Chains A and B, each alone.
Chain A
């Protein structure tokens, strides 16, 4: 005898697979199953259990991380790199040049134990770590997209399906670090600032095609040049 928490399954009864398929709209042509479950106490209860299970499902999916790159929350990054970004910002704060107007992205670069503020067409090496900052005079939603030397387009920020909210402020440290992979050449980093939380996939596709950004979005781009480690 087969044993579950539900009554024994009759020959016409739904299996758990049937229940999941029904709820996913995969058995639209199975009128026999639909008719049976409406008249069967066991199947009605089983399907209700599945519906409740779906309604209560609250486990978040961790977004896939870019291949050969590493991302982590700022706390983890700080622990791993010995608070490198915080120390670096203190050093650079006084000489910071600030401008108002167009939103911008910038970055700090960690190479070995040395940390510096990234400049135009900064020369970087595989395994260097980058932590972005962003500046904006108005609230925005931000995504940072990369197109590397092999023309592979990746999302560096955020670690979710839609552009992340960004408050007003200059040089706001973003809560992600990226360790660069070993694809050499010029890499273009595009910060896309939007007035609504658009899909990261939509923004990634626009950057990949070099197409016009969605209405309400503006971009700020940086270049880095990745060379083979000396």
Chain B
């Protein structure tokens, strides 16, 4: 199990990047801070990282998955509310059409496409770098990006 001291160290080293990614993807400060806490608190029962070299990449992918799941959950909740004809507004805050659109697009995309979209458009990673991060071939990433271009246009990342 991870000690409190090690958790604190990881938080100091990786907390800023996790919060930045959560802000980029969720486009909501409160949700991003929730994500930051949940991601690190979920580490408490985990074994310490053995390979230090991959820790930053691990936090990148973990944050990406966590935030995409959160966007999908939010979208599903909004859809259920609409289906039940409730009068509450959907959860996306009115902070500019592009932000709402970005969240909406990411939430609608298949998980793999959404993940690659973030790495490619927000992180400006190359095909090779994305392939290493996701543990697949460069060609596969190229194919996913082609599908992505056909499927949608990605709004600007914040």
Contact surface of A with B, Cβ cutoff 8 Å: 2-4, 8-9, 11, 15-17, 20-21, 24, 26, 50, 53-54, 57, 59, 61-64, 67, 161, 199-201
Contact = CB atoms under 8 A, between A and B. Distances in A.
Given A15-B129, A16-B124, A17-B129, A61 B56 contact: no
Contacts of B15: 57, 59, 61
26 contacts: A2-B120, A2-B124, A3-B121, A4-B157, A9-B124, A15-B124, A15-B126, A16-B20, A16-B124, A17-B56, A17-B57, A17-B60, A17-B125, A20-B14, A24-B56, A26-B52, A26-B54, A26-B55, A50-B17, A57-B12, A59-B33, A62-B41, A161-B4, A199-B4, A199-B5, A201-B4
B41 A64 contact: yes
Contact of B16 (A2, A3, A17, A57): A57
Contacts of B17: 16, 20, 50
Contacts of B54: 26
Contacts of B36: 59
Given A15-B129, A61-B37, A4 B122 contact: yes
B16 A26 contact: no
Contacts of B5: 161, 199, 201
Contact of A20 (B11, B37, B56): B56
A2 B56 contact: no
A186 to B, nearest CB: 23
B13 to A, nearest CB: 5
Given A15-B129, A199-B4, 7 more contacts: A2-B120, A15-B125, A17-B60, A17-B133, A20-B17, A21-B57, A59-B36
Given A61-B15, A161-B8, A201-B4, A15 B123 contact: yes
Interface in B22-42: 33, 36-37, 40-41
B137 interface: no
Contacts of A53: 16, 20
Contacts of B52: 26
B11 A61 contact: yes
Contact of A200 (B4, B33, B53, B55): B4
Main secondary structure on B side of the interface with A: helix
- Judged by DSSP, the binding face of A is loop
Contacts of A2: 120-121, 124
A199 B12 CA distance: 17
Contacts of B19: 57, 59
A4 B120 CA distance: 11
Contacts of B44: 64
A18 B60 CA distance: 11
A66 B101 CA distance: 40
Contacts of B123: 15-17
B56 A26 contact: yes
A188 B97 CA distance: 58
A157 to B, nearest CB: 13
Interface in B81-123: 120-123
